[in-house]
Structure formats: C-alpha cells, structure tokens
Amino acid sequence: MDFGFGDIRELAKLLNNGEAEYDSDSDDETGKKTSAKIGPGSVGPPKQTGDGQGNQSDNKAPEKNPKEIWDQQEINTVSNVITRSIEHDPRQRPTFETFYRQAVSTEDVYLQMGMKTPCTASCENLVVVINLPGENFQQVKLDIKPDFVFLRSPKYIFRFPTPHPVDPNGGNAKWDQDEEKLTVTLKLAREYDALNF
C-alpha cells in the first residue's frame, strides 16, 4: 500500500482536528500547540475528574511511611480467619527464634565435593524454637501446614508463617522439660530443592 502526498496531508488534517495546517519545516507556535494536545493520553473517552457530577474531590492516595517496606494492601495473608482470631485472643504470644539447618557430611566439609554452600538455599530444615515457660507439654496442640505453624495452649497462642513451603509430614517436634522449650524441625519443600541436593 503506497501513500501519496495527498494521503499524508489528509492524515495531518485528521490529527490537527481541522485546525490550521502544520508545516513540519516551520517552528511556529501553531505546530507546538497541536503536538502538545495530542498524545497517548488522548486515546479513548475523556477522563472525568471528581465524582462524575462535576464536583471536584480529593482522590489522593494515603501517604506512605518511608520506613515501611510494603503497603498494607500488598501483604497477602495465608489464612485470614486464623489471623483475625489470633488478634483478638487474650492469650500471650511466646518468644521464639528461627534458624536454618543443613545436613553436612564429611564430603562437604573435608573434600568439598558436594554442591552445598553456606547460604540458606542449601539448607534442608527450618528450626523454630518456641519458649513456653510454665506450660505443660500435654496441653500444647501443634498444627503444621505447608505455609504456617500454629500452636495453641491454655497460656499461649502462636502463629508463624514460614518463609518457604514446608512438608507437614516431614518434620518433628521435641519438648525440653528443663528449659520449657518446644523445638520444631520443619523439612523445607521448596520448588528447586531437587536441583540443590
């Protein structure tokens, strides 16, 4: 399909909305105004400001705290029902600590033949140590799901969203009566673990 000079002139008239012709060689004010009016934002129906009734309203987004990493809207909770029930529960939240554990063999330490590195990508387990002072082990109920750990007892309630998916059937829990701590070892079930191990 060939375009002639007349076709280009008709296209220029269409873009100028019937205003005075614009000569691309001249730098007069008419050409500058026309090119400023038409842009990607002018495609489609005109946008209304305000509430559609002609009233102007302030649709400003709430100010962000510069120290926050994510907005509240961006946080995706795994189970909102459990989260809401914990927020209003009068029981205490226990202190806890987490760390990663890796199974290291003599090949890894002395011969350095394995593919393991000191980073968390080479760890097989996530260990969560929960301090439960004054609690009886028989009254502690522990649920492990692929994306969180949930502990309930008469004194404490604890919900921990795991940073990686875990195998609910691949871990174990040990109670230390002297220190009143529950150590939960969770087997990580990440997507690319087959490549790392």
**pLDDT for 78:** 43
Dist CA 26 CA 138 (whole Å): 89
**pLDDT for 185:** 94
pTM of the model as a whole: 0.55
- List of long-range contacts for 148-153, beta carbons under 8 Å, 24+ apart: 148/78, 148/79, 148/82, 149/184, 149/186, 150/82, 151/94, 151/182, 153/91
Radius of gyration from C-alpha coordinates of the chain: 32
**pLDDT for 23:** 52
Domain extent listing, the chain: 5-37, 72-196
The contacts of residue 155 (CB under 8 Å, 6+ apart) are 91, 92, 132, 134, 135
Q: What are phi and psi of 189, to 5 degrees?
A: -130, 60
Other residues' Cβ atoms within 10 Å of the Cβ of residue 9: 11
pLDDT block averages, 10 residues each, the chain of length 197 = 76 70 50 58 67 53 72 54 66 92 81 76 89 91 91 92 89 92 91 65
72-196: CATH topology is: Immunoglobulin-like (2.60.40)
**pLDDT for 53:** 54
Report how many helices (DSSP H) and strands (DSSP E) the chain contains, helices first: 5, 7
Q: Please, what's the b/e burial string for 61-98 (b: 16 or more CB within 10 A of its CB; e: otherwise)? A: eeeeeeeeeeeeeeeeeeeeebeeeeeeeeeeebebee
**Is residue 134 a contact partner of residue 154, using CB atoms and an 8 Å limit?**
no
Tokens 């220029």 correspond to what residue? 12
**Is residue 116 a contact partner of residue 122, using CB atoms and an 8 Å limit?**
yes
Apex CA 173: angle with CA 138 and CA 160, to 5°?
Answer: 95
